[in-house]
Structure 1
Amino acid sequence: MFERFTAAARQVVVGAQEEARGLRHGHVGTEHLLLAILAGPDDPAAEVLIGMGLDHEAARRAVVRLLGPGDDAEVLASIGVDLDAVRAAVESAFGAGALDPPVDEGPRRRGWFRSGGSKPARSPFGQGAKKALELSLRESLRLKSGEIGVGHLLLGVLRVEDGPGLRVVADHGLDPAAVRRAVEAKLSPSGSARRE
């Protein structure tokens, strides 16, 4: 399926993993895909959301409010423990990555969802993110696109009904159906310049 992804859509998938790591969440969810989409503000799909008032920073704050920090950083900070300072001290004594979780040596799988090997383990994709990626393919087929672009990823995120990504959009006061229509208009051949 990933061979159909545009370079920009692949970057969103990688960016979603980085967003999950940055928030110290143990999985990649629809909320991380949404954040990665918004991290590319020049993309037509991101332009739709930004034009409706939802930018990366607002979405990130909403994700943190919705799901909290991925670890106990906030609680520890409230009692005066700075995790970044602790990490820096440990890494200066024991080397970079000393506190990183060990690489999973479980069954080796090929593709984007694999873990193990000599590379650091990727954040695992949660069911919602997997469903959004699958739905992005369906959206691409429905719209008769020859590839899966960032807009299709956003449409997939919006179709995961119980996903945090959809909730962030709705909680921001946006109508998901209106967002879908605007993204579909951008994806249509007669829509504005496509940069996916």
Structure 2
Amino acid sequence: MARPRGFSEADVLERAMQFFWTNGYEATSMSVLTAHLGVHPGSLYRTFADKHTLFLRALEHYRDTHTRRLAPTLLSGGPIVPRIREVLIDYLQAAADEDVPRGCIAVNTVGERLPHDEAAARIIREILSLVEDGFRQGLQAAARRGEIPGDTDVATEAMMLMTLLQGLQVVVKADRDPLRLSPVIDAALQRLTGKTAVRAG
């Protein structure tokens, strides 16, 4: 009978994701990661095989626990455009609250692992597609509600918002005042609505 692992796989993936997010892939050794997680090395290797497999699982965990929440968040009730603004501003606020802004694990992975890591690239493409689709669903709802013109090319605008978000996640790592980028978000939403973006709440 197999011995129990003695740890929660979901908890390990969450903490591994956070560690990779902060420190990157190359700078993270399996020994340091094992010590940080407080898991016996044998148990970790039996479950995840190696560092690369654990990293891929951590990326998938990010996809499933963070990225998939975008569409439900935008469609949870009330005006859509202010909710889009709130989502984007929250990324800037998170960076402003960190001593060393770490950006987005997906964007960081693009810079560190792509194009040579095809397995990571596949997950990143899924993440970006989910972000784009989340914005598309939000914009479709906004068009139905009359918040944006009914003839808006929501597919293109969703791609624009996805690209804007990823770009912001790069800049916040270098900008000493991430919230300084807020007017960029407002300008993008004003272009969509034809008026100054309304803040949530």
Q: Above 0.5 in TM-score? A: no
Structure possessing the higher relative contact order (Cα contacts under 8 Å, 6 or more residues apart):
1
Return the structure number with greater helix share.
Answer: 2
Q: Which has the larger radius of gyration?
A: 2
Task: Return the TM-score normalized by structure 2.
Answer: 0.27
